[in-house]
Chains A and B, each alone.
Chain A
Amino acid sequence: MAMITLNGKSIEVDEGLPLVEVIKDQGITITNLCYIDGLEPYAGCRTCIVEIEEARPTEIQLACTSKTADGMVIRTETEAVKHTRQGVMSMILANHPDRCLTCHRRVHCMPGDICLRDDVVTHRCLTCSKNYRCELQTSCEIVDMGEFSEPWVGESRSYYETPPPEPDRGNPYLEFDPQMCIICTRCVRACDDLRHTGALTLSGKGHSTMIAFGTGGQIHESDCDFCGACIDVCPTATLMEKPNKWRGLAEDWTNSACNGCSVGCTLSYGTANDQPVIVRPDRINPVSRDQICVRGRFGYTDVPERERLIRSLIRNGDRLLPADNFDQALDIAATSLATVKESAGADAIAVLGSPLATTEEAYVLGRLAREAIGTEHIDFSHGPLHRAVTEAFVSGLGTDQLPANLTDIEKARTIVVIGGDIEESHQVVSLRVKDAVKKHGAKLILISNRWSELVPFSEQWLQPFPGQEAATAQALADGLSSSTTHIPDTAVENTADAIATLRLAIANAESNIPVILAPTAGHGAVRAGGEAIAAVNLSIAIHSSEAAHNLYYLPTDANVIGLTDAGIVPGSTENDFPNIIEKAKNGTIKALVLHNDNPLLNTPGTPDIESALANLEVLIVIDSLKSTATQHATVVLAELPFHAKDGTLTSADRRIIRQRPAGAPQGDEREGIAILTALARALGTPINYNSAADVMRDISSSVVGYVPYDELTRSPGKIRALVESESTTAQQLPAPTVSTIPPVSDGLAIITGRSLFTSWAAASIHSDEADKLHREESALVHPQDAESVGIRNGDQAILASMANAGSELRIRIRLDDGISPGSIYIPHYYDGGALMRLMPLTSSAEPTTLMLQAMQPA
C-alpha cells in the first residue's frame, strides 16, 4: 500500500497503479484521450498531465505512465497543469473541427442558429453525431479550451484548410470517418489487446499518420468482426455505429441480457423515446465484462421496424389479417384450443417453447401446457439435442448441472474446444480462449470440422471428417487413459501431439484445463450426444473427480438451460419434438402452441415439419415477428420483441442474467407472460402473474438454484442456478457410436454452423437482410471436390438432397481448403434455413450428404 496526496487529500492506494486510474476513481475529472483502463499506457495524447512533486526531469508528468508510489504528492488543478493541457489540446484540435469546442456560446446554440463565428453546419458540434456524448468535447470543457487562444487558426494543413478524407460507410454496422480522428489509437489497441483481432492498425507516419482497417481498404474487407470494441473506446465521432448513429444519444440506460447465444453477456441498452438506440457492454457481467459481439451490439436492429409484429393476426381463409384487438385474437385462440381438447383430448395438443424466450415465459408456458391444457407434449425444437448432451453428463458425471465457471477460461494454460466454430457461435467465450492464449501462452487444442479464426491461436488443430468429432475427442481420452500411447490408425492428424500437450499439462499439475463442448445444432442430436460422451470421457481422463468442474457446455441458443429448468421438457420421449412432428403429420396431434420457436429454421427435416404444420387444425403462434412458421397459423398473438421483455436468461454456465425491458411496447404488443396467462385464464385455468418478478418468485420456490430478483440485483451476473452436489461421480462412458466416412461418390458430407453475422430473428422471417454483410451467402467446397464436378470459385451450383428426395438448393460456391475434401459447409441460417430442407428429421451418427452439381451455363 502507498499513501499518496492527491490535491491535498491523503489517500491510501495500492502501489504501482496507473495514476490516471486512481485519479478517476477518486472522482476527479482528468483529460485522458488515449488511455484504456486496464491496458498498458500508450501515452500518445499527452493530455493527462498532472504535477507530481519532485518528479524528474520536470514536475509536469503524465498520469497514465506514472505509477503510484508511497509519499507521492499530486496536483491536478494547478495553473501550470491547466496551461499545459490546454496547449496540448490545441495541438489535437488543430486537426479536428474545433470552432464549437472553443466557443463561449456553445451552450446557447441550437442547431438552426446562425453561427456568429461563421462555422459551417457540417463542422459544428451541434450537428455532429457524437454531440453531448463525445469525450473530446468533455475534455475541452475540463481544460476550459474556450479561454485558450487559438494559435493555429489558418495554418495551411489544419482541419479547416484541408479537404476531409473519405469516410467509410460501406457496411451496415460501423462507420469510419477519419476526419474526426485524433489518432489516439485506442481502437487499434482495443482490437489488438482486448479482442486479439488486429483488424486495425496505425498506418503512415508524420502528417500522414492515420488509422487503417486491414491494409487500408474498406472495413468489410479487413478482418473486422464488427464487435464494436473500437466504437466503445473512440473518444470522437470517428468510429460510430451505423444504426442509429444520429439518434444514439441515450436518455436512459438499462442493463439487460443478450439472447444471441448462450454465453449470457450483459448488454447496456441506451434508450431514447422509449426505444433502444445504442448498445454498450456492461461491466457488471464477469464473463463478458467490457466485450460483446456484433450480435449483441446490433441484435436489436435485426428486424426492421416494418417487419415487427405489433398487432395480433387471425386467419381468414388463406390470409392472416390483423385482429380487431388482442382480446378477439385471444378468444379465437382459446376457443379453438378448447375445441380440439374437447374433441380429441388434451393429448392432441402440443406446446413448443423457445430458448430465445425468458425463463419466466418458459415457466408460464409449462404451466399453461400442463395445467390449462393438460398435455405432456411439451418440448422445443432443440430439445432432443440438448437432452442427448445432458444425458451424457448425468450418466458420466452424475449431474447435468456443470459447476464449471466461464470466468476460469481466460486463466487456463491448456484448453480443449470440441465442436463448431465458437468464434462465430459464441464469440465472447472464443475471446476468453484467445485471452488465455495471448496473455498466458495457453495451448489450445481445437477439434473442429473447418478452419476458423481460432485455428491460428491453436497449438493443435484436429480436423475430423464430419461425424468423426466424437471419435476424435474420444481418441484423446483413450490416449490419456492408456499407459501406452497407442494412436489408432484412423485418428486424425495431430492427435498424438494433442495427447502430448495434455499429458504435459497434467504433468504440470494444471488444475484448470477447460474442455469446452459446443455441439452444432444442425448436426443433430445423435452426433451432439456422441460429442458429449467423448467430452465427458476426456474431462474425466484429464481431471478425474474434478471433471464436472472443467467441462463447459455451450448450447447454440441463449436460454436452453433456463427453458429446461423451467419445465419445457416432454413427459416422455413419446412426447418429444420429433414425435410431436410425426404425430402432427399423422393427425394424432391436432393443435400446437408455438411460443417464439421456429422449427422450420431450427431443425433439419423441413419437408416433414412443413407437412406437420400444414396438417394441424389449430396453430397458435406467440411471437414478435411473422416467422416462416406463422404462415400455417390460426392465430398469431403479438408479443414484445426480446429486448423489450422483462425476465431472466440462464447462460451456458448457469448464470442467471437479468433481462430488463429496453423500449416500450408498440401497437398491441403484450408481454409474453401476459399473453400466456391470459390464454390460460381463457382456457379456464387461473394462472395469475402481474410481472416477471412474480413468476421468478414461483420458480425460485420450485426450481433449486433460482432466486428472486432482489437477490439477483444485489449481485448481478454472479448468481448461478447451480446445486453443487457433494460428490459428483466421474464415470467413463462407453465410447460413442462412430460413424463411417462415406465414400465420396455418396456426395459431400454437410458441415453447418451458426454464422456470426446472420440474425436468427431475420432468418426466421426469411429476410433477405438476415446476413446484412452477405458474407455467408455461399457454400464452401474444397477445391478438389469442386474441380471434379467442374465448378469454379463463385459459380452457382445445385445441392441436391439425398435424404429428402426432390429437395434442392441453389447456392454460390466458394472454394475453401479450410474444410476436408468430401465435405461441404453451408451456414445453418442461410436463406431462412434452406439447408434444413435437405436434411432428414431423424438424426443419426452419420453425416448427412448431398450431391453437388454444376448448373448449366446460362
Chain B
Amino acid sequence: MVNRLMGGMKLSSDTAQIQGNFSQIREDATTVYERWRKPQRPRIDVAIDTSSLANGALATSNAIEQIANDRNAAIDLGQNHGYGMQWLQPLVTVTWPNGTSVIYGPVNPDDAALIVDEATGRSGAASALAIGVLSGEHTEIPSIREHPFFAQEPEQRRLIARIGLTDPEVMEHYIGSGGWAAFARVLYRGMQPDGVRQELIDGAHGGRGGGGFPAGVKWNFLAGAPGDEHYMVCNADEGDPGAWVNRVVMEGDPHLLIEGMAIAAFATSSKRGFIYIREEYPLAVERMEQAIRHAEAAGLLGDNILGSEFSFQLEVVKGAGSYVCGEETGLLSSIQGQRGQPRIRPPFPAAVGVFMKPSNVNNVETFSHVPLILQNGHEWYREYGTEAMVGTRLFSFSGDIPNTGFMELPFGAPMQEILSACGGVSDGAELKAIHSGGPLGSLVPASAMPTLTLENNSFTPYDAMMGSGGIVFVSDRTHLVILNEFISEFVEEESCGRCTTCHGGNQRMTEIFRRIMNGDGRRADAANLKLIDDMLQQSNCVHGQFSPKPMRNLLQHFREDYEELALQRRDPTLTLPGMTKFRVANPRDSKIEDAVAICPVNAFQGSVGARSINDDACIGCGACTEVAPGAIVREPKQLEAASMPVSAGS
C-alpha cells in the first residue's frame, strides 16, 4: 500500500490534493483495520510489551502457536499491547469474527490449550481466566470497563484508546482507527502554525514531564526563535524507577507520538526531530523506529508530507544508560554525541538547543495528547482534570500493592480510590507512604490519603510533587530509610559529575543512610542531612536540586521512624541487614535444609536437625526465611541507642 501512495502523490499547496492523498491512505487503512477487528476466523492476540515479555508472554505465545499448529486449528495469531492489568500477565485477547474481543489472563503456557479451545468455539473453556470484554458483546463476561482496576478511569480511554485494540506494529491499525487525521486536517485545512499553538494554549495542555509547563507557550518560544533550523525533540528517557508510562505509549501506540511530533514540528517550523529513548527500552526503540520507517514510506514523514510543502525528518536516538540525560539539556548534549551533562541555563533550549540551534523538548505524553486535542478540540480536552491541570494522564502504580499496572486517569483523581482499585496494601499491611515522582520526587505520608488527589496542588502541602506518572505505594513493612538509601544511591550514581554539591552531596547522603541502616546513626546526622539538602540547592540542574527531596520528606513526615532507627537503633520492619539477626526457631522444620543450601555464606552451623546460625558469618540477606519461613525467624539485634551527641568536628 505504502509505496503505491508515494508514487501517486503530488506536491501541492492545493489543500484538496492533500486531502485527497490522505483519504486514499485512510480508506486503505480502514479496510485493513476493519478486517482485523472483525477477522474471518478467530484470532488470538498475545500482549507483547516489555512488561508482558518479562512475565513470560513469549512462552505463552509459543505454546499457543504450538497447539494451534498441532491441531491445525482454524484460528489466527496476532499481537497487541497489554491493557493495563499487569499483575495478570501474560494477557491474551481473543477476537471472534463478530468483533467480540475478550481479555484473558494470566495465561501461562499451561493454559494455552484452554485459550485455543475458547477461540475455536468451546465457549467457556477459559472462563476462569476471563478478565473482561474489550469490545463487542458477551453474555457471560462483563466489560473490561467494569473491571474494578479501571474504576477511576474515564468512561472512555483517550490517550491510550487504542491499547489492546490495535497491533502497534501495524500502521494501518493506527490510521484505520482515526490516526493521522488530526495532522492531515491541519494540512488540508491550511491551518497556520500559530493556530495550532493557540489550540493547545486554549486547551491548557500542560507538559507531562513533571513541570506541567504549558506546551503551547513553550512552542511559542521556539516558533519565535531566529533562523529556520529548529529542532523538535522528544524526551523518552523515562528512567524513574516505578514509572513506565512513556513506554506504554511508545510500545502500544507509536504512531500517536509520531503524529504528535509532526504537528509540533509544523507548529514551530521545525524540520528535524529526535526521539531520545533510553537504551533500556529496546522494544520501544524497535517499535518507534519501525513506525517511523512505515510513516516515511507512506509519505507521512520526510519530505513534503502528504504532498504538502511541509517536511519533517524524524529519527530515534538511543541513550546510553544515563539517567541524567532525561534532564532536557543533558539530553540535548547526549544527542549531539557529547557527554550527557545538563547545561548551564540560560541560554534555554529554545535559543540554544541541540547542535546549538533553537530546539524544543517535550515528554512523550505531551506530544501524544496533541493529535487528540486537535482532533476533538480543546473543549473536549478540558472535560477532564482540574482547574490547574487539564485533561487525563497516564499513571503507573506499583509497590506494596497486589494489582500493579497502568491507568489513564483524569487529574484530580482521588488517591484513596486508586489504592482500592489496586487492591489495597499487600498482605494486609498498613500504608506508610506514597512515593511519587521517582528518585527526585517525594514521600507523602499515608495520613494524606483521605485528601490526596492526582494533582500537583494536592501534593504541595507535603513539600511534595506528583512527578511524571510513577506512583509507588510503600507499606509499613518497608523501612523508609532503606528506601531513601536506595533512592540516594541511585541519584548519586546518576550524577553527571559537574556539581560538587551533587556528586559529593549525594555520596555523603548515601553513606549516612547506610550507616544509619547499619545501626550506627548519630545525633548529628539530621543536621548534616539538612546541610546536604541546603548545599544540593546550589546545584546546576534539577537532578541535584531535587535529589534531597525524599530525604527532606523523610525528616518532615517520618521523623519518628527516622529517629527510632537513627537514634534508638530499632528497626520495627526487621528488614535492615545491619539491625536484624536470624534465629533457627524450629530446627526440625522440613524446609530447613533448603535454607542451609541457599545460604550464600554458609552461616549455618551444627548438624542436621540441630542447625543454628552463626551470627558473625550471617550477612542478613534473609534468603533463608524465604525458603523456610517456618523454621527461621527474624529478630532485632540488640544495639545501644546513640546516647552521646556526636559533635561535629571532634
| A joins B in a complex | yes
Q: List residues of A whose CB falls within 8 A of some B CB.
A: 40-47, 49, 58, 60, 65, 84, 87-88, 90-92, 94-95, 149-153, 155-158, 182-183, 185, 201-202, 204-207, 209
Interface centre among B322, B344, B495 (most CB of A within 10 A): B344
Q: Is the CB of B515 within 8 A of A156?
A: yes
Q: Is the CB of A91 within 8 A of B501?
A: yes
Instruction: Among B496, B497, B500, point to the contact of A92 (Cβ < 8 A).
Output: B500
Q: How far is the CA of A206 from the CA of B494 in the complex (A)?
A: 5
Nearest Cβ on chain B to A827's Cβ, whole angstroms: 35
Nearest 3 A-B pairs (CB), nearest first?
A209-B497, A91-B504, A149-B648
Partner among B498, B537, B648 whose Cβ is within 8 Å of the Cβ of A44 = B498
A411 to B339, CA, bound (A): 29
Q: How far is the CA of A44 from the CA of B539 in the complex (A)?
A: 8
Contact segment of B37-45, B83-91, B527-535, B601-609:
B527-535
B511: chain A residues within 8 A (beta carbon): 155-158
B346 CB to closest chain A CB, in angstroms?
A: 9
Residues on A with beta carbons closer than 8 Å to the beta carbon of B638: none
Residues of B near A58 (CB, < 8 A) are 537
Contact residue among A84, A152, A155 (Cβ-Cβ distance under 8 Å from B538): A84
Q: Is the C-beta of B191 less than 8 angstroms from some C-beta in chain A? A: no
- Chain B residue at smallest Cβ distance from A44: B498
> With A and B bound together, what is the CA distance between A87 and B538 in angstroms?
10
Pairwise interchain contact B504-A92, C-beta atoms closer than 8 A: yes
Q: Mark B365-384, 1 if CB is under 8 A from A, else 0.
A: 00000000000000000000
- Partner of B648 from the list A47, A88, A94, A150 (CB cut-off 8 Å) is A150
Identity of the chain B residue whose Cβ is nearest the Cβ of A211 in the assembled complex: B497
For chain B, residues 496 to 516, give those with C-beta under 8 angstroms from any C-beta of chain A.
496-501, 503-508, 511-512, 514-515
Answer yes or no: B540 CB below 8 A from chain A CBs: yes
Output the least CB separation between A95 and chain B (Å): 7
**With A84-B538, A87-B531, A151-B531 as contacts: A205 and B508 at CB distance below 8 Å:** no
Query: Smallest Cβ distance from A658 to chain B, in angstroms?
Result: 41
Which A residue sits closest to B537, measured CB to CB?
A58
Q: Is the CB of B508 within 8 A of A209?
A: no
Across-interface contacts of B492 in A (CB, < 8 A): 206-207
Interface-central residue, A60, A65, A90, A182, by most chain B CB under 10 Å: A90
B461 interface hit (Cβ, 8 Å):
no
In the assembled complex, B524 has its CB within 8 A of some CB on chain A: yes
Residue contact B507 to A207, C-beta cutoff 8 Å: yes
- Distance in angstroms from B126 CB to nearest chain A CB is 49
Given the interface pairs A91-B535, A207-B492, the reply to whether A155 lies near B512 with Cβ below 8 Å is yes
Tell me which residues across on chain A come within 8 A of B504, comparing CB atoms: 91-92, 94-95
Once A44-B499, A206-B503 are accepted as A-B contacts, the answer to whether A151 and B648 lie under 8 Å apart by CB is yes
Q: Does B649 contact A (CB under 8 A)?
A: yes
Complex CA distance for A207 and B511, rounded to whole angstroms: 12
Q: What is the bound-complex CA distance between A150 and B515, given in angstroms?
A: 17
B199 within 8 A of A: no
Chain B residues within an 8 Å CB radius of A201: 339
- Contact yes or no, B501 A206, CB < 8 A: no
Residues of A within 8 A of B500 (CB): 44-47, 88, 91-92, 182-183
User: Which one of A88, A151, A185, A205 has the greatest number of beta carbons of chain B within 10 Å?
Assistant: A205
**Contact call A153/B649, Cβ cutoff below 8 A:** yes
Q: Which residues of B contact A153 (CB under 8 A)?
A: 648-649
Which of A40, A156, A204 has the most chain B CB atoms closer than 10 A to its own CB? A156
- Would you give the shortest CB distance from B325 to chain A, in whole angstroms? 10
Task: Report the minimal beta-carbon distance from B355 to chain A, rounded to whole angstroms.
Answer: 14
**Is A205 touching B499 in the complex (CB atoms < 8 A)?**
no
Q: Which of A182, A185, A206 contacts B493 (CB 8 A)?
A: A206
Give CA–CA (A201, B339) in the complex, Å. Answer: 9
Bound form: Cα–Cα A653–B23 in Å: 72
A87 engages B524 (CB within 8 Å): no
Closest B residue to A67 by beta carbon equals B346
Question: What's the Cα separation between A207 and B324 when bound, in Å?
Answer: 14
CB–CB B535/A88 < 8 A: yes
Chain B interface, number of residues (Cβ within 8 angstroms) = 37
Q: Is the CB of B499 within 8 A of A206?
A: no
A183/B503 in contact, CB under 8 A: yes
* Chain A residues near B527 (CB-CB < 8 A): 151
Minimum CB–CB distance from A523 to chain B (whole Å) comes to 40
> Nearest CB to that of B647 among chain A residues?
A149
User: Which A residue sits closest to B496, measured CB to CB?
Assistant: A205
Whether B495 contacts A206 by the Cβ 8 Å rule is: yes
Q: Provide the residues of chain B in CB contact with A157, threshold 8 Å.
A: 507, 511
In the complex, chain B residues whose CB is within 8 Å of the CB of A40: 344
A91–B505 CA distance with the chains assembled, in angstroms: 6
Q: A151-B524, A155-B511, A205-B322 are in contact. Are A46 and B539 (CB under 8 A)?
A: yes
Report chain B residues within 8 Å CB of A209.
Answer: 495-497, 503
Which residues does chain B contribute within 8 Å of A156, judged by CB atoms?
A: 511, 514-515
Complex: A95 Cα to B500 Cα, angstroms:
10
Q: By the criterion CB–CB under 8 Å, are A150 and B649 in contact?
A: yes
Decide: A205 and B494 in contact? CB cutoff 8 A. Answer: yes
By a CB distance below 8 angstroms, the chain A residues around B495 are 205-206, 209
Contact with A along B280-303 (1 / 0, CB 8 A): 000000000000000000000000
Selected from B344, B493, B535, B540, the residue in CB contact (under 8 A) with A207 is B493
**Which residues in B have their C-beta under 8 angstroms from that of A84?**
534-535, 538
| A182 partner residues in chain B, CB cutoff 8 A | 500
Nearest residue in B to A84 (C-beta to C-beta)? B538
Interface pair B344/A43, CB less than 8 Å apart:
yes
Q: Which residues of A contact B539 (CB under 8 A)?
A: 46
CB closest residue in chain A, given B509: A155
The smallest beta-carbon distance between B232 and chain A, in angstroms, is: 26
**What are 9 of the A-B contact pairs (CB < 8 Å)?**
A42-B498, A43-B499, A84-B535, A151-B528, A156-B514, A183-B503, A185-B498, A202-B497, A206-B507
B512 touches A43 (CB 8 A): no
CB-nearest residue of chain B to A45: B500
**Further pairs besides A158-B508, A183-B503, A207-B503: 8, Cβ < 8 Å:** A40-B344, A46-B500, A88-B501, A151-B648, A155-B507, A201-B339, A205-B494, A206-B506
Whether the pair B497, A205 counts as a contact (CB closer than 8 A) is yes
Residues in A with CB closer than 8 Å to B507 are 94-95, 155, 157, 206-207
Query: Within 8 Å CB of A42, what residues of B?
Result: 344, 498
Distance (whole angstroms) from the CB of B501 to the closest CB of chain A: 5
Nearest CB of B to A125, in Å: 18
Closest to B341 in A: A202
The answer, among B322, B341, B501, B508, for a CB contact under 8 Å with A46, is B501
State in angstroms the CA–CA spacing of A12 and B432 once bound together.
58
State which of B497, B508, B515, B528 has its C-beta within 8 Å of the C-beta of A183: B497
Q: How far is the CB of A787 from chain B (nearest CB, A)?
A: 37
Shortest beta-carbon distance from A829 to chain B in Å: 39
A58 nearest in chain B by CB position: B537
> Could you tell me which residues of chain B, from 289 to 336, have a CB within 8 Å of some CB in chain A?
322, 324
**Minimal Cβ-Cβ distance residue in A for B536:** A91
Taking the closest CB of chain A, its distance from the CB of B463, in whole angstroms, is 16
Contact among A43, A152, A204 for B508, CB-based, below 8 A: A152
Query: Quick check: B540 and A91 within 8 Å, CB to CB?
Result: no
Residues of B within 8 A of A91 (CB): 500-501, 504-505, 508, 535
A188 vs chain B, min Cβ distance (A): 10
Q: How far is the CB of B177 from chain A (nearest CB, A)?
A: 42
Return B577 CB to nearest CB of chain A, in Å: 15
| Closest B residue by C-beta to A188 | B339
Chain B residue nearest in CB terms to A62: B538
* Shortest beta-carbon distance from A707 to chain B in Å: 46
A185: chain B residues within 8 A (beta carbon): 498
Q: Name the residue among B339, B515, B535, B537 with the largest chain A CB count within 10 angstroms.
A: B535
Using a CB-CB cutoff of 8 Å, which residues 602-650 of chain B contact chain A? Answer: 648-649
**In the complex, A139→B239 CA distance in Å?**
38
**Residues from chain A with Cβ under 8 Å of B494 in the complex:** 205-206
Query: Cβ of B538 and Cβ of A60 under 8 Å apart?
Result: yes
Q: Are B497 and A46 closer than 8 Å at their CB atoms?
A: no
Q: Could you say which residues of chain B place their CB within 8 Å of the CB of A149?
A: 648-649
Docked CA distance A42–B648 (Å):
32
